[in-house]
Protein backbone atom coordinates (compact mmCIF):
# COMPACT_ATOMS: atom_id res chain seq x y z
CA UNK A 1 0.00 0.00 0.00
CA UNK A 2 2.83 2.37 0.83
CA UNK A 3 4.45 1.63 -2.53
CA UNK A 4 1.19 2.23 -4.37
CA UNK A 5 0.63 5.57 -2.63
CA UNK A 6 4.21 6.57 -3.40
CA UNK A 7 3.56 5.65 -7.02
CA UNK A 8 0.41 7.79 -7.15
CA UNK A 9 2.25 10.72 -5.58
CA UNK A 10 5.10 10.35 -8.07
CA UNK A 11 2.75 10.28 -11.05
CA UNK A 12 0.89 13.31 -9.70
CA UNK A 13 4.18 15.18 -9.28
CA UNK A 14 5.15 14.40 -12.89
CA UNK A 15 1.72 15.52 -14.09
CA UNK A 16 2.13 18.73 -12.09
CA UNK A 17 5.48 19.37 -13.78
CA UNK A 18 4.08 18.51 -17.22
CA UNK A 19 1.15 20.92 -16.88
CA UNK A 20 3.63 23.80 -16.73
CA UNK A 21 4.39 23.35 -20.43
CA UNK A 22 1.61 21.14 -21.86
CA UNK A 23 -2.18 21.22 -21.84
CA UNK A 24 -4.13 18.66 -19.83
CA UNK A 25 -5.54 17.23 -23.06
CA UNK A 26 -2.08 16.61 -24.50
CA UNK A 27 -0.87 15.00 -21.29
CA UNK A 28 -3.88 12.69 -21.13
CA UNK A 29 -3.63 11.79 -24.82
CA UNK A 30 0.03 10.81 -24.53
CA UNK A 31 -0.33 8.89 -21.27
CA UNK A 32 -3.53 7.18 -22.44
CA UNK A 33 -1.94 6.02 -25.70
CA UNK A 34 1.14 4.74 -23.88
CA UNK A 35 -1.02 2.93 -21.33
CA UNK A 36 -3.19 1.46 -24.07
CA UNK A 37 -0.23 -0.03 -25.91
CA UNK A 38 1.24 -1.47 -22.71
CA UNK A 39 -2.17 -2.94 -21.84
CA UNK A 40 -2.52 -4.33 -25.38
CA UNK A 41 0.82 -6.16 -25.15
CA UNK A 42 -0.12 -7.68 -21.80
CA UNK A 43 -3.58 -8.60 -23.10
CA UNK A 44 -2.20 -10.30 -26.21
CA UNK A 45 0.31 -12.30 -24.17
CA UNK A 46 -2.50 -13.48 -21.89
CA UNK A 47 -4.69 -14.36 -24.88
CA UNK A 48 -7.54 -12.08 -23.84
CA UNK A 49 -10.05 -10.13 -25.92
CA UNK A 50 -9.73 -6.39 -26.46
CA UNK A 51 -13.46 -5.76 -26.67
CA UNK A 52 -15.98 -7.69 -24.61
CA UNK A 53 -19.74 -7.52 -25.01
CA UNK A 54 -20.10 -6.39 -21.38
CA UNK A 55 -18.45 -3.13 -22.46
CA UNK A 56 -21.64 -2.28 -24.37
CA UNK A 57 -23.66 -2.17 -21.14
CA UNK A 58 -24.83 1.44 -20.65
CA UNK A 59 -23.80 1.39 -16.99
CA UNK A 60 -20.26 0.37 -17.95
CA UNK A 61 -20.18 3.18 -20.52
CA UNK A 62 -21.40 5.70 -17.94
CA UNK A 63 -18.69 4.54 -15.56
CA UNK A 64 -16.03 4.83 -18.27
CA UNK A 65 -17.19 8.34 -19.14
CA UNK A 66 -17.17 9.27 -15.45
CA UNK A 67 -13.65 7.90 -15.01
CA UNK A 68 -12.50 9.89 -18.04
CA UNK A 69 -14.04 13.10 -16.69
CA UNK A 70 -12.52 12.45 -13.25
CA UNK A 71 -9.07 11.87 -14.70
CA UNK A 72 -9.29 15.05 -16.75
CA UNK A 73 -10.42 16.92 -13.63
CA UNK A 74 -7.46 15.66 -11.60
CA UNK A 75 -4.98 16.71 -14.30
CA UNK A 76 -6.66 20.13 -14.57
CA UNK A 77 -6.53 20.49 -10.78
CA UNK A 78 -2.84 19.62 -10.76
CA UNK A 79 -2.27 22.49 -13.17
CA UNK A 80 -3.74 25.13 -10.86
CA UNK A 81 -3.83 23.81 -7.26
CA UNK A 82 -0.91 22.84 -4.99
CA UNK A 83 0.02 19.16 -5.22
CA UNK A 84 -0.65 18.47 -1.52
CA UNK A 85 -4.24 19.69 -1.78
CA UNK A 86 -5.00 17.66 -4.89
CA UNK A 87 -3.50 14.56 -3.28
CA UNK A 88 -5.46 14.88 -0.04
CA UNK A 89 -8.72 15.45 -1.90
CA UNK A 90 -8.09 12.40 -4.09
CA UNK A 91 -7.22 10.28 -1.06
CA UNK A 92 -10.41 11.35 0.72
CA UNK A 93 -12.63 9.82 -1.97
CA UNK A 94 -13.27 6.57 -0.05
CA UNK A 95 -14.53 8.60 2.89
CA UNK A 96 -16.99 10.47 0.69
CA UNK A 97 -18.08 7.22 -0.97
CA UNK A 98 -18.89 5.76 2.47
CA UNK A 99 -20.91 8.85 3.37
CA UNK A 100 -22.80 8.82 0.07
CA UNK A 101 -23.49 5.08 0.32
CA UNK A 102 -25.10 5.66 3.69
CA UNK A 103 -27.05 8.70 2.51
CA UNK A 104 -28.29 7.49 -0.87
CA UNK A 105 -28.08 3.68 -0.82
CA UNK A 106 -29.13 3.10 2.79
CA UNK A 107 -25.94 1.17 3.50
CA UNK A 108 -25.48 0.20 7.13
CA UNK A 109 -22.34 1.73 8.58
CA UNK A 110 -21.27 0.67 12.04
CA UNK A 111 -20.01 2.95 14.79
CA UNK A 112 -16.34 2.08 14.23
CA UNK A 113 -16.59 2.93 10.53
CA UNK A 114 -18.38 6.24 11.30
CA UNK A 115 -15.56 7.09 13.71
CA UNK A 116 -12.97 6.20 11.07
CA UNK A 117 -14.73 8.38 8.47
CA UNK A 118 -14.96 11.29 10.91
CA UNK A 119 -11.28 11.00 11.82
CA UNK A 120 -10.37 10.74 8.14
CA UNK A 121 -12.32 13.88 7.29
CA UNK A 122 -10.72 15.65 10.26
CA UNK A 123 -7.34 14.65 8.83
CA UNK A 124 -8.32 16.11 5.47
CA UNK A 125 -9.28 19.38 7.15
CA UNK A 126 -5.99 19.50 9.06
CA UNK A 127 -3.96 18.90 5.91
CA UNK A 128 -5.93 21.46 3.90
CA UNK A 129 -5.86 24.15 6.63
CA UNK A 130 -3.19 23.39 9.24
CA UNK A 131 -3.27 25.39 12.45
CA UNK A 132 -6.10 26.66 14.58
CA UNK A 133 -7.02 29.66 12.36
Alpha-carbon span 127 to 32, nearest angstrom: 31
Stretch 101-130: mean pLDDT: 85
Q: Does the pLDDT value for residue 42 go beyond 90?
A: yes
Residue 45 confidence (pLDDT): 94
Quick one: which of 78, 67, 66 has its CA closest to 11?
78
Residue 131 confidence (pLDDT): 64
Cα separations in angstroms, 76 against 13, 22, 23, 83, 98: 13, 11, 9, 12, 25
Q: Does the pLDDT value for residue 104 go beyond 80?
A: yes
Cα separations in angstroms, 46 against 49, 56, 57: 9, 22, 24
Amino acid sequence: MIGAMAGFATVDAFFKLATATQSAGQILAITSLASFFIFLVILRRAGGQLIHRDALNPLVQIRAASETAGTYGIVMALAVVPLAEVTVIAQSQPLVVALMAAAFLNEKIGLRRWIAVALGLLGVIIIMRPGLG
